[in-house]
Homo-oligomer: A and B are copies of this chain.
């Protein structure tokens, strides 16, 4: 009963947060997947698609789709670098200009959703979840390891 419940709560919370985020981003024509890429690009500067995949822990195909969509909207541009396989992604002037407004909306949402959760609780929750995530990633490989 216990472990099932934990799984279910995490899953439900993830969906609920995504729903809220999409609702918050809707006025700007953005969805959570696109927002996550823009957020990372703003923090880290230009990156290849591979680096974005690794950083966001997403497989390559969904990343391709998200980036193609961001390009269509004019929020991101692709540049070919030294390695002609890789595509370097960077924000456009347009999205750099609009970014502060998007971020403000997201931060306001985060604050609203965390009303009633103390800083300490949030901090500890982050710590527990990170450690659990690491465990899952480590222990998942044991099933497929050969000896």
Contacts and interface: CB of A to CB of B under 8 A. Distances in A.
A136 B17 contact: yes
Contact of A114 (B3, B12, B116): B3
Given A3-B110, A3-B114, A10-B14, A128 B136 contact: no
A16 B133 contact: yes
A135 B110 contact: no
A15 to B, nearest CB: 8
A139 to B, nearest CB: 5
Q: Looking at chain A, what size class is its interface with the partner chain?
A: 35 or more
B139 A3 contact: no
Copies of this chain, count: 2
A86 interface: no
Nearest to A111: B3
Contacts of A85: none
A145 interface: no
A126 B36 contact: no
A115 B107 CA distance: 34
29 contacts: A2-B126, A3-B110, A3-B114, A4-B106, A4-B110, A5-B126, A6-B125, A6-B126, A8-B56, A9-B129, A9-B130, A9-B133, A10-B10, A10-B129, A11-B14, A11-B18, A13-B14, A15-B57, A16-B137, A19-B140, A20-B136, A112-B143, A113-B139, A114-B132, A115-B135, A116-B138, A117-B135, A121-B131, A124-B128
